[in-house]
């Protein structure tokens, strides 16, 4: 069944970003194949065959989907394919072109080129945003590193302090052992008894041992306070990391959707409509001339 030209064309609802520019006045001298009306030649291909082939090519391009992101890598090739379909149509000797068709082609192709350029910019901006969202992860890394340095510093101070205190304890314990092993001298009978000396030594040793336990307890409390501050800071940063991860997931999901699908479909539909309208005008003109 051959192509049947339509009496009119219903305009497609255009997606956002696909706005055909205002038609500029075009001189016939600048038109392709517009030096004047052409008569149908004796080519083996009929007008209907050329039109059907062109419409099929436009429908194929209008429904084409791209395999993977970034989708803008396919735009230039798609536009070249579109141009080839239209050039083949216009180059056919059996097709009579007019200025209106030329204006519509220029308008629609310019619109889809602008829309695809805008979509390419969106994809690039989205990719740049995804790559730049890592500030909170950096904060978490620095917080963990800083906390580790504080822990090591605190441990070093604790070890040094306890070493000094334990050294004092060992010295006092040795002093007590010395007292316990010593004999009561002649003068000590009139001054301080051995029991009193032993009591003082034991008291100093006990105080030193308590000092060790107090130091351990103090360092434990400091460690707990340090850990509490770190956990609070880390919690705030993790909330930011989670929010950023959600934003990245959202952008990645958007990047997996080809925003040019509707733009390309509408452009091909309007170009197909322009082809059909051209044939209708030519047939009407011929019929009028015959009458």
Domain boundaries, the chain: 45-132+258-286, 135-254
Q: Residue with structure tokens 């308008």?
A: 107
* pLDDT at residue 190 greater than cutoff 70: no
Evaluate the omega torsion of the peptide bond into residue 70 and state whether it is cis, within 30 degrees of 0: yes
- Give the residue among 94, 53, 56, 84 at the shortest CA–CA distance from 282: 94
104 vs 256, more confident: 104
Half-sphere exposure of 207 (CA within 13 A, CB side): 7
Band (pLDDT 50/70/90 cuts) for residue 188 is: low
Distance CA 201, CA 204 (A): 5
pLDDT single digits (tens) 258-280: 989 999 999 999 999 999 999 99
Number of Cβ within 10 Å of residue 138's Cβ equals 10
Angle at 145 between CA 143 and CA 148, to 5 degrees: 105
From first CA to last CA, the distance across the chain in angstroms is: 27
Half-sphere exposure of 238 (CA within 13 A, CB side): 7
* pLDDT at residue 121 greater than cutoff 80: yes
pLDDT single digits (tens) 214-254: 888 888 898 999 999 989 988 988 888 888 888 888 888 88
């Amino acid at each position: 069944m051959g192509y049947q030209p339509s009496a009119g064309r219903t305009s497609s609802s255009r997606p956002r970003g696909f706005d055909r520019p205002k038609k500029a006045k075009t001189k016939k001298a600048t038109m392709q194949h517009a030096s004047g009306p052409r008569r149908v030649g004796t080519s083996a291909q009929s007008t209907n065959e050329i039109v059907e082939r062109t419409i099929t090519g436009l429908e194929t391009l209008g429904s084409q989907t791209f395999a993977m992101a970034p989708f803008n890598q396919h735009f230039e090739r798609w536009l070249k394919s579109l141009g080839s379909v239209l050039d083949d149509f216009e180059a056919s000797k059996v097709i009579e072109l007019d200025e209106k068709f030329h204006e519509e082609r220029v308008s629609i192709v310019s619109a889809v080129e602008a829309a695809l350029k805008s979509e390419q910019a969106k994809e690039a901006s989205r990719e740049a945003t995804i790559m730049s969202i890592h500030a909170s992860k950096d904060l978490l890394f620095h917080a963990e590193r800083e906390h580790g340095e504080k822990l090591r510093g605190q441990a070093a101070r604790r070890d040094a302090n306890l070493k000094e205190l334990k050294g004092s304890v060992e010295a006092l314990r040795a002093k007590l052992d010395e007292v316990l092993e010593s004999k009561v001298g002649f003068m000590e009978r009139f001054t301080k008894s051995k029991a009193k000396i032993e009591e003082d030594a034991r008291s100093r040793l006990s105080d030193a041992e308590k000092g060790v336990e107090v130091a351990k307890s103090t360092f434990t409390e400091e460690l707990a306070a340090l850990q509490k501050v770190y956990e609070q800071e880390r919690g705030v940063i993790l909330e930011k990391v989670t929010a950023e991860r959600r934003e990245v997931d959202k952008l990645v999901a958007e990047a997996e959707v080809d925003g040019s699908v509707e733009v390309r479909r509408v452009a091909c539909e309007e170009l197909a409509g322009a082809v059909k309208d051209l044939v209708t005008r030519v047939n009407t003109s011929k019929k009028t001339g015959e009458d």
